[in-house]
Structure 1
């Protein structure tokens, strides 16, 4: 093999090692922005400690908005309003995520006491709002829009239950488990699969929730199940 061939192999191994580090140490923990994989390809093995440090950062709630008090909402008060189970629903805009919302409505009907919609973004919790990158600011804007849209849909369909929202950062399953514990929810609802890279590469958020949760987890079946 020529010298150029050996150099090419070294370059490929270098790039793949950095991309693999981004996938294993960051992608599996919810940090899936494309630029991490580009940086990994450039830095190669040098990116491994960076990916480990970034991926192991603790989970955090970036924005938390409680639902409206049932006593202050307009319209008639139904029996059981505010007294049903408190439900945490993980959303990411994927088809399975939206199916989880429909499943929750089908299973609980109008009997939920409080709904909490939560989504996970790849934004560092320690960074001040005015120091965030354009990509991070865009992620937060998309997350707010997603939660607002899904909350409005739930309010129109099930006005009895107040709906709060959480924008989280960190490994998705761990972030959802942390907020489930802090908000003392009675049930977690999530789609079987979500958006992002492949299920096999990133691992299953749903499987980790089922394995580690200390409260019931309702999984919405995949469309092809």
Structure 2
């Protein structure tokens, strides 16, 4: 049924709930799980537009990349704690919906599992999140929105 399941994680509870559902599917199908955390690329020009300037300015991509790696490592640990096996993690920069869809196509993913809303607040929770909506609209494989 499923050989490769992609789970988009961003550190939010909804993304970790999506991971839980993916692990349940993995236990039924024996699929490999790919965890993907996408961070938005920031140019040095964008960083220079910041109102507050610390004494030493870290390049935003470096900070965001490190955070994304932490998210993936945390998700891998959660997966292991919940019985997940054969879990691989990836970090990419770019527009999240496009990167997720492109990654799924490039890795021949059979199913994408994604949370309804990422790191946004609950006040916006009445509507499907824009990333999950774009992924579901543009993916070539089925998408499970949790």
Fold shared, TM-score > 0.5 on shorter chain: yes
Q: Report deviation, 1:92.
A: 0.4
1:191 paired to 2:115: yes
Residue 90 and residue 185 in structure 1: after superposition, are their counterparts in 2 closer, same or farther (change >3 A)? Answer: same
8 Å contact kept, 1:89–1:118: yes
1:180 paired to 2:101: no
Larger CA deviation: 138-147 vs 182-191: 138-147
The Cα RMSD (Å) is 2.6
Alpha-carbon separation, structure 1, partners of 2:20 and 2:145: 11
Measured against aligned partners, the alpha-carbon deviations of 1:117-174 in whole angstroms (never above 9, x if no partner) come to 001112359xxxxxx9443222111111110111122123335x31111212221111
Q: Which has the higher contact order (CA 8 A, sep 6+)?
A: 2
Report 1:152-163 matches (<5 A): 152-159=77-84, 161-163=85-87
Measured against aligned partners, the alpha-carbon deviations of 1:167-206 in whole angstroms (never above 9, x if no partner) come to 1222111110000011111100000111148679xx6111
Query: Structure 1: which 5+ residue stretches go unaligned?
Result: 1-82, 126-131, 221-225
Alpha-carbon separation, structure 1, partners of 2:96 and 2:125: 13
Alpha-carbon separation, structure 1, partners of 2:143 and 2:109: 11
Instruction: Tell me which protein shows more helix as a share of its residues.
Output: 1
Larger radius of gyration: 1
Q: Which residue of 1 aligns with 2:93?
A: 169
- Count matched residues: 129
